Amino acid sequence: AQSVTQLDSQVPVFEEAPVELRCNYSSSVSVYLFWYVQYPNQGLQLLLKYLSGSTLVESINGFEAEFNKSQTSFHLRKPSVHISDTAEYFCAVSLSSNTGKLIFGQGTTLQVKP
């Protein structure tokens, strides 16, 4: 069975500082990897995903994540955060056979301080 571990429940950071939100997964078969974001008082939205090809994937708002198969990780990074990045971030995995079911991590709350 697949599982996802987000190592930090909360990450406080000052505006314009870099940030890394950690995600590790466990699976005996190939997987697809996702990051979802939930802004305050909004629903979850897809931020970025890794399906195949280049191990580095980017979002439109400056986040990036790198798939590391040997370390079974998919950490999310941003070189300079904004106040508006304050949100809860969820890492998720699905089987590459695409049964459609996502398994989510516990979530990491990113708190960006001025």
Partner 1 sequence: GAGVSQSPSNKVTEKGKDVELRCDPISGHTALYWYRQRLGQGLEFLIYFQGNSAPDKSGLPSDRFSAERTGESVSTLTIQRTQQEDSAVYLCASTQGGATIGYTFGSGTRLTVV
Residue 48 to residue 60: CA distance in whole angstroms: 9
Residue 53 to residue 112: CA distance in whole angstroms: 32
The correct pick among 28, 54, 70, 98 for binding partner 1 (CB under 8 A) is 98
| Cα 35 to Cα 13, 54, 67, 114, distances in angstroms | 19, 16, 12, 25
Which residue stretch of 2-10, 19-27, 59-67, 68-76 sits at the interface with partner 1 (rule: CB under 8 A)?
2-10
Determine if 43 is a binding residue for partner 1 (CB under 8 A). Answer: yes
Residues near partner 1, by CB under 8 A? 4, 6, 9, 32, 34, 36, 42-46, 49, 51, 90, 92, 94, 98-107
